[in-house]
Amino acid sequence: MVWLMQSPSNSPPPPRRPPVVQWVIAGLLAVVAVGVWTRSSDPIERLVHAQPAPLAGARGVFAFTGPIERDRYGLFMLDVDQGTIWCYAFDTVGGTRKLKLIAARSWVYDRYLQDFNCAEPTFRDIQALVNQQRDRGAGPPRGGEPPADVPESDAGRSNQKE
């Protein structure tokens, strides 16, 4: 403890040199920076380094969780190829939690329905509003052409006056 109580000397402190570790870290960072800067833009090399994200319209079976009731969650499974969705939930049977299928359905034919069990406004209400706007001269939506699924009888309606 004696060395702590000594008065400081008037001589300047020796110059501080960075330790070797700091120089090694700085050198490695420089190498990484140069590597990132000069990285090739070859598309094949980019695929090697990272797997691309799946595109919209992907195929296969997807799984995700979601609420079934207030404090109960389920595992939803979606088979895009077969057009089905089903849901599992944990159920307690005899003191043991078991996975139980609680719902399943196919939506293959659902897309052919235009109006089923829908809240207001219905498909027909929206169709009438669109026809009213077209009759007033608002025309089709931006892009110039009506959507592809509009029946031919309604497609030219914006240009016709009754």
Predicted local confidence at residue 156, as pLDDT: 45
Q: Supply the range of the domain harboring residue 73.
A: 61-110
Same-domain status, 95 and 127: no
DSSP structural state of residue 17: -
**C-beta of residue 140 within 8 angstroms of C-beta of residue 134:** yes
d(CA 3, CA 9): 12
What's at 78, amino acid-wise? Answer: L
Q: For the residues 87-97, what does the mean pLDDT come to?
A: 90
For residue 17, tell me if it sits in a domain: no
13-58 pLDDT, tens per residue? 766 766 788 888 889 999 888 877 776 666 555 555 555 556 666 7
Q: Is residue 52 part of a domain?
A: no
- The answer to whether residue 129 scores a pLDDT higher than 70 is yes
- pTM value surpassing 0.75: no
Structure tokens given for 96: 């043991």
Domain count, the chain: 2
80 inside domain: yes
DSSP string for 94-127: TTEEEEEEEEEEE-TTGGG-SSSS-PSSPHHHHH
